[in-house]
Structure 1
Amino acid sequence: MTLEGDSLAPALGDKKKNDLKQVLEASLNRFNDDFVRLSYIESYLNGDQDPPYMPKGASREYKAILDQSCMNFLPLIVDAVAQQLYVEGYRKPDSPDDDKCWEYWRRNSLDAWQHSAHRDALSYGYSYITVLPGDKAPVIKPVSPLSMAALYNDPIHDEWPQWAMQHSIDYSTGKKRSRVKLLDDENVYTYVGDYIHTFTNLDSFELKGIEKHGLGVCPVVRMRNRLTTSPNVPVRGEVEPLIVTQDRINSYTLSESMIVHFASWKQKWIAGIELPEDFTDPDTGITVSAAPDAAVNRLWSTEDPSTKFGEFSESDVTKVLAAIEATVKKMSSVSQVPPVYLLGDIVQLSAEALAASEAGLQRKVQEKRTIFGEAWAQTMRLAAVADDGKGELDDLFDNRIVWRDTEARSLASTVDALGKLTQMLQVPPEALWERVPGVTSSDVAAWKELAKEADSLGNMLGMLQDQAATAGQAAVPSQKGQDNAKAGTNVPGKASTAKAGYGTPSDRKDYHR
């Protein structure tokens, strides 16, 4: 049920309106505080980072080099983990097939949108997922923490928030304004007011609509990057702790660029000569330096025999490159992302060495799957309630989220190991299909259908063969000495009696005795 316009007045009393205003104010304050910090993190992910130190009065050439001195590794830190997080099933503990609730996942295109929830949680420390009733299926949408704030009674252990606020931009009046949705355990309240990121004018917000969802809880699921029970430790993503290291890499990159641009060749010097003064061109007003200018097509010469010439050696850039590489390796060890992911070094590694280099990353991925999997399971339980309104949140508590196996392994060695499991431990082959690298749940389902069809065809051919054998046996009459022959009686030249059974007829005339 949706209320708009004049119908809002009788639906809400003055006390309820005042309570909503207080919640709106608290939510906006919390949202603005988080928005500043999260926007700073977002700027580093997008390459808009704090520049290295630049002296006052720096030339335009220096500033141009400064703008190019950014080697952004932070998106790779997020990508290395996010690209190994892919939900591909939702099943009961004792079933190899997906639960019927998996239809909600498909209808909301979460095969694609799940990655936005994972990346936001990895980048900023947390993200949100909203679940609301829909026409054909529950509407499930991942929401960035840059667009939502949630208020919890116990921020550490509470599963559901008391209130949540989602912010978006409203252009319905031709002016940039803020559209805010407040969500509680029963309704969604829509407010429109002045744009909040310039100045928060609480009095400008007007209630525009009320929509009842009736789910009994605030329909917002929080996905956290890591769990902690300490009230003094904020929820942090993978980016924020590495910002200082990224600034150091940018500073070293600037030093490398300056050396390459200004000091990568030998510098000439001259002494014992009186230099003319600089002069200004009267036509253009440009001041021209009279000092000797070194170039590949210029030669310095003088008539004064006391003048001395010399050169300085070029600067060694390899030490700066080594410092950059060492800093990147430190970032790699802190983030548990292998250096090959960041430096791109291609070396010949054995399968054991490659597995050892990714061991830390795989442990980290398993931790994220455990934490994120609980958030998705909570989402699916709420979606089941939102579908028909008859389910309970605890009905699907035993169901599990199935993650795709993305660990880098040799296909041949993996299939060989799975084959040994089947032969030596008698594990059914169908139970191991989903463990083959690169195989999706859709592939497994298709294989099972093909196996059923093959079994049906085999059974049908067997029945036809049995019927044909039975029909052939009935059509051929019994013959003496052939079908009814008994062992030991088919002796050539010896008569077979009725007591001995029918055997090969003898040449003797008294074989009927």
Structure 2
Amino acid sequence: MTTQHAVQSPEWWRDRLYVALCKRTQDTSVFDSYYECDHRLPHLHEKAREPFKRLLRMSRANYCELVVDAFVGRLEVAGFQSDAEGDSDEKAWQLWQENNLDGGSQLAFLEAAIRGNAYLMVEPDARGGFRITPEHPTQVIVVYRPDAPGVPAAALKLWLDDWTGRMCCTLYLPSNIYKFDAPEPKTGGNPVWVRREVKGEEWGGKNVLGEVPFGELANRPRMLKPGASELRSVVGIQDRINKTITDRMMTQEYAAFPQRWVTGMEIPVDENGQDIEPFNIGQDKILMAEEAGAKFGQFAAADLTGYLKAKEADVHDIAAITSTPPHYLLGSMVNLSAEALKAAEAGLIHKIYQRRRFLEEGLERTMRLAGIASSQARIVWKSPEWRTEGELVDALVKMATLGVPREVLWERWGATPQEIERWRQLSQDALDRVIAGDVAAEYGPKPPAEASLAEQG
């Protein structure tokens, strides 16, 4: 029997978000399985599945992992940049480093690409600062106000405490935080939740941030739909590839070697009247028959070309649908010029720029929750484009002749905001030394008498 709770009460939010989180986890679990190469086995007749299980397991070629890694591998935050006075960008980068978000952000980007969403959680720490942690989309869900899209209304964090066997959850509302656990998690139904009392904390205590403390990293969201997996359109093609490989392997197993035949010869039998195989075939053997009319021959070996072309066509479909360069998936680069490679990667670069816009929203919200105003410290990404050093230097030299400031050239080179500041300081120090040297050369050192008088006042 389901207990009815008042709308927008803590218990109402808890049950509503728990059901939504479980449904989303179930819906996206297939994408996680395919990324981990845990694909559905190709379909075969029930009687054939057991004998061919070894071939079925060998048939899984994991293109899903390549699609995700080609995209996520070029998402990297380089720093923060501010046009306002002060050191907000330095504070933002220090906070980023203190929370190990160089690696943590990569984990969040990966899960967002696989399952469609990931989260960064912000909470005050004991030192008066903030702790930021990446959160898995199977453990956190955030819902937004229906009258104000983009404004979080509530969030739920769910986990299983494997030390005690208790299922725990925390409900975050803009005003308060409520903690629950289920001492005896049920299977096949909602857990029986009770309040989780924490020593030194008031149950339903105040949310000091005044907002839902999560920044959502959504991968290709739509206006009325949440983020979506990069593998949403790939799973079916991956199944086709696995089926083609299975058929090819079965053909290799039983028909790739030419079968020999003989006619006009009497087959010998044993004492039980059973036929005896007349030949022991080998590379160093000669087949001989005493019958005058005996003839030998062999059937043609099975042609595997059709299977190979079918697989290649499916791989090209994946490349086209996901904007992944074909040579990433096919592993072949034959006489490709630099211009051809750049053109092949144009779709992937465009996709990365597009996806980054939505990821930035979650990152900027996270930094704002941690006390860094997003309008003062914007995200700086490393360039997703791969260019040779010669090409880059040539382009920068031409830009310098047009009067582009050196800081902009350093940024185009790929320097982080922290490196740019250090280079600027080094340049200023060098300039100061040059100026000091020029003054000394023009006026010379002070005579000892003048120096002594100056010291005496």
TM-score by shorter chain over 0.5: yes
What's the TM-score, normalizing by structure 1? 0.77
Structure 1 pair 427–29 and aligned structure 2 pair: CA distance change class (3 A): same
Residue in 1 that maps onto 2:341 = 354
Residue in 2 that maps onto 1:323 = 310
Task: Tell me how far apart the structure 2 counterparts of residues 200 and 183 of structure 1 sit (CA, whole Å).
Answer: 23
Structure 1 pair 400–382 and aligned structure 2 pair: CA distance change class (3 A): same
Residue in 1 that maps onto 2:138 = 146
Contact 2:79 2:416 in 1 (8 A): no
Residue deviations 1:326-373 (CA, integer Å, cap 9, x gap): 110111000001101111112333332222111111111110121111
Structure 1 pair 240–289 and aligned structure 2 pair: CA distance change class (3 A): farther
Deviation for aligned residue 1:68: 0.6
Structure 1: state its 5+ residue gaps.
Answer: 1-14, 280-287, 386-394, 475-513
Counterparts of 1:75-224 in structure 2 under 5 Å?
Answer: 75-93=65-83, 98-136=89-127, 137-154=129-146, 158-173=149-164, 176-193=165-182, 198-209=187-198, 210=203, 212-224=206-218
Residue in 1 that maps onto 2:298 = 311
Task: Tell me how far apart the structure 2 counterparts of residues 197 and 37 of structure 1 sit (CA, whole Å).
Answer: 21
Counterparts of 1:98-497 in structure 2 under 5 Å?
Answer: 98-136=89-127, 137-154=129-146, 158-173=149-164, 176-193=165-182, 198-209=187-198, 210=203, 212-229=206-223, 231=224, 235-270=227-262, 295-296=281-282, 309-384=296-371, 395-397=373-375, 399-423=377-401, 425-437=402-414, 439-468=415-444
Residue deviations 1:405-432 (CA, integer Å, cap 9, x gap): 1311121121122112112x21222321
Partner of residue 51 from structure 1, selected from 41, 64, 81: 41
Partner of residue 74 from structure 1, selected from 60, 64, 80: 64
Contact 1:38 1:146 in 2 (8 A): no
Contact 2:268 2:275 in 1 (8 A): no
Deviation for aligned residue 1:243: 0.2
Task: Tell me how far apart the structure 2 counterparts of residues 327 and 132 of structure 1 sit (CA, whole Å).
Answer: 46
Q: Which is worse superposed, 218-227 or 442-451?
A: 442-451
Residue in 2 that maps onto 1:480 = none
Q: Which amino acid aligns with 2:427?
A: A
Residue in 2 that maps onto 1:509 = none
Contact 2:79 2:418 in 1 (8 A): no
Task: Tell me how far apart the structure 1 counterparts of residues 187 and 172 of structure 2 sit (CA, whole Å).
Answer: 24
Partner of residue 28 from structure 2, selected from 35, 38, 60: 38
The sequence identity of aligned pairs, in percent, is 29
Deviation for aligned residue 1:434: 1.8
Task: Tell me how far apart the structure 2 counterparts of residues 150 and 24 of structure 1 sit (CA, whole Å).
Answer: 12
Task: Tell me how far apart the structure 2 counterparts of residues 443 and 318 of structure 1 sit (CA, whole Å).
Answer: 54
Deviation for aligned residue 1:100: 2.6
Contact 2:145 2:151 in 1 (8 A): no
Structure 1 pair 294–328 and aligned structure 2 pair: CA distance change class (3 A): farther
Deviation for aligned residue 1:72: 0.5
Deviation for aligned residue 1:46: 0.5
Structure 1 pair 95–227 and aligned structure 2 pair: CA distance change class (3 A): farther
Q: Which amino acid aligns with 1:153?
A: R
Contact 1:278 1:290 in 2 (8 A): no
What's the TM-score, normalizing by structure 2? 0.85
Task: Tell me how far apart the structure 2 counterparts of residues 52 and 294 of structure 1 sit (CA, whole Å).
Answer: 36
Deviation for aligned residue 1:204: 4.7
Q: Which amino acid aligns with 1:376?
A: L
SS in structure 1 of the partner of residue 170 of structure 2: strand
SS in structure 2 of the partner of residue 208 of structure 1: coil
Task: Tell me how far apart the structure 2 counterparts of residues 431 and 108 of structure 1 sit (CA, whole Å).
Answer: 29
Structure 1 pair 244–276 and aligned structure 2 pair: CA distance change class (3 A): farther
Return the structure number with greater relative CO, CA threshold 8 A, min gap 6.
Answer: 2
Q: Which amino acid aligns with 1:140?
A: I
Contact 1:87 1:401 in 2 (8 A): yes
Task: Tell me how far apart the structure 1 counterparts of residues 78 and 214 of structure 2 sit (CA, whole Å).
Answer: 22
Larger Rg: 1
Task: Tell me how far apart the structure 2 counterparts of residues 189 and 116 of structure 1 sit (CA, whole Å).
Answer: 27
Contact 1:411 1:436 in 2 (8 A): no
Contact 1:25 1:202 in 2 (8 A): no
Q: Which amino acid aligns with 1:218?
A: V
Q: Which is worse superposed, 291-300 or 457-466?
A: 291-300
**Aligned-residue CA RMSD in angstroms?**
3.2
Contact 1:32 1:197 in 2 (8 A): no
Structure 2: state its 5+ residue gaps.
Answer: 451-457
Residue in 2 that maps onto 1:496 = none
SS in structure 2 of the partner of residue 149 of structure 1: strand
Task: Tell me how far apart the structure 1 counterparts of residues 86 and 381 of structure 2 sit (CA, whole Å).
Answer: 13
Aligned residue pair count: 436
Residue deviations 1:122-180 (CA, integer Å, cap 9, x gap): 1111112211112342111121211112232339x63242221112221343xx33121
Q: Which amino acid aligns with 2:214?
A: V
Deviation for aligned residue 1:42: 0.8
Task: Tell me how far apart the structure 2 counterparts of residues 447 and 414 of structure 1 sit (CA, whole Å).
Answer: 19
Task: Tell me how far apart the structure 2 counterparts of residues 149 and 195 of structure 1 sit (CA, whole Å).
Answer: 23
Contact 2:92 2:377 in 1 (8 A): no
Q: Which amino acid aligns with 1:463?
A: V
Structure 1 pair 406–180 and aligned structure 2 pair: CA distance change class (3 A): same
Q: Which amino acid aligns with 2:141?
A: A
Deviation for aligned residue 1:182: 1.4
Deviation for aligned residue 1:53: 1.5
SS in structure 2 of the partner of residue 202 of structure 1: coil
